[in-house]
């Protein structure tokens, strides 16, 4: 029987709030079995960029990662956030290692091809090194991944943290029974976006199609749900969406996605 692995992605809202972050890390620490945490940098990257006088570059409303912005991402995601989360988790008894995709050659990517927009140093994931990550898990370590990947030739990339979480889950599903948790600011997928009490408890491929047709899943939820079903179609066992209290195993008020 496969061993269980939980992959938890925490959102920028949690990273930016010290009290909330500590609470989430406490819940994460108590989770049993092998686990991996994935985080971005929250608002701190924008804050540091502003202080350094680096202007956010936008083309057609999309954010571009130029060389300076990449350096800020490496400093904030890979340094400040990663090391603070790691030291706090060590305090909580979790043997964390803060990593980018370059560490242990974990996540390989290539520069996103230029179409109408050149996104700059943004990487699309090619491959997760499940063998190296598995070695770390079996040695008792808990990898903490930030939103950075590399091309194996010395170049780092900015990569969406949601994508990193789903690619890790997919890559490790061969060996582990994987469960993917997406923590965000809402309690789950809502039937009525204005009503926090309208959490849809369970969505499968059929009801997903129906929710799409009814327009209940729209806007920002579209890429998130796409990521989730992409993971499920690639052997990830279960995906959970909700706010970070879903990591508390007495809470059942969140959305579970299955095929």
Binding site for a second copy (CB under 8 A): 48, 51-53, 71, 74-80, 82-84, 86-88, 90-91, 95-100, 102-105, 132, 135-136, 139-141, 148, 150, 152-156
Task: Tell me whether residue 46 or residue 132 sits nearer to a second copy (CB atom).
Answer: 132
CA distance 142 to 77: 17
CA distance 217 to 189: 8
| Summary count for the chain: helices (H), strands (E) | 9, 14
Tell me the closest approach of the beta carbon of residue 74 to a second copy, in angstroms: 5
Query: In whole angstroms, how close is the CB of 68 to a second copy at the nearest point?
Result: 11
Closest contact distance (angstroms) between CB of 154 and a second copy is 4
Q: Which is nearer to a second copy, 10 or 199 (CB)?
A: 10
Between the alpha carbon of residue 136 and those of residues 93, 162, 201, 210, the distances in Å are 16, 22, 34, 41
CA dist 229 and 207 (Å) reads: 12
| Residue 118 CB, nearest approach to a second copy (Å) | 21
Nearer Cβ to a second copy (147/199): 147
Q: How far is the CB of 48 from a second copy (least distance, A)?
A: 8
Cβ atoms 100, 41 nearer than 8 A: no
Nearer to a second copy, 25 or 180 (CB): 25
8 A C-beta contact, residue 145 and residue 39: yes
> Rounded to the nearest whole angstrom, what is the least distance from the CB of residue 182 to a second copy in the complex?
25
111, two tokens: 């520069």
If you ran DSSP here, which 8-state letter would residue 53 be given?
Answer: T
- What is the spatial distance between Cα 141 and Cα 207, in angstroms, rounded to a whole number? 38
| Nearer to a second copy (CB atom), residue 80 or residue 216 | 80
Cross-strand bridge partners of residue 65? 120
Distance CA 98, CA 83 (A): 6
Q: Which is nearer to a second copy, 158 or 163 (CB)?
A: 158
């Amino acid at each position: 029987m496969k061993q269980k692995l939980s992959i938890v992605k925490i959102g920028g809202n949690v990273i930016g709030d010290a009290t909330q972050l500590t609470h989430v890390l406490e819940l994460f620490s108590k989770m049993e079995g092998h686990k991996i945490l994935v985080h971005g940098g929250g608002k701190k990257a924008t804050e540091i960029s502003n202080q350094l006088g680096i202007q956010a570059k936008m083309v057609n409303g999309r954010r571009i990662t130029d060389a300076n912005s990449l350096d800020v991402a490496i400093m904030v995601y890979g340094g400040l956030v990663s090391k603070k989360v790691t030291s706090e988790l060590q305090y909580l008894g979790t043997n964390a290692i803060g990593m980018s995709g370059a560490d242990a050659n974990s996540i390989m990517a290539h520069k996103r091809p230029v179409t109408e927009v050149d996104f700059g140093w943004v990487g699309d994931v090619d491959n997760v090194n499940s063998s190296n990550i598995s070695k770390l898990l079996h040695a008792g370590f808990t990898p903490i991944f930030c939103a950075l990947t590399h091309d194996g030739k010395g170049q780092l990339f900015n990569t969406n943290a949601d994508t990193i979480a789903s690619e890790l889950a997919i890559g490790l599903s061969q060996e582990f029974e994987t469960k993917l948790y997406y923590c965000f600011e809402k309690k789950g997928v809502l039937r009525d976006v204005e009503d926090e009490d309208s959490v849809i408890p369970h969505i499968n491929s059929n009801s997903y199609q129906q929710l799409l047709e009814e327009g209940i899943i729209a806007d920002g939820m579209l890429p998130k749900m796409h990521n989730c079903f992409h993971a499920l179609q690639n052997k990830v066992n279960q995906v959970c969406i909700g706010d970070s209290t879903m990591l508390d195993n007495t809470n059942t008020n969140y959305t579970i996605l299955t095929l």
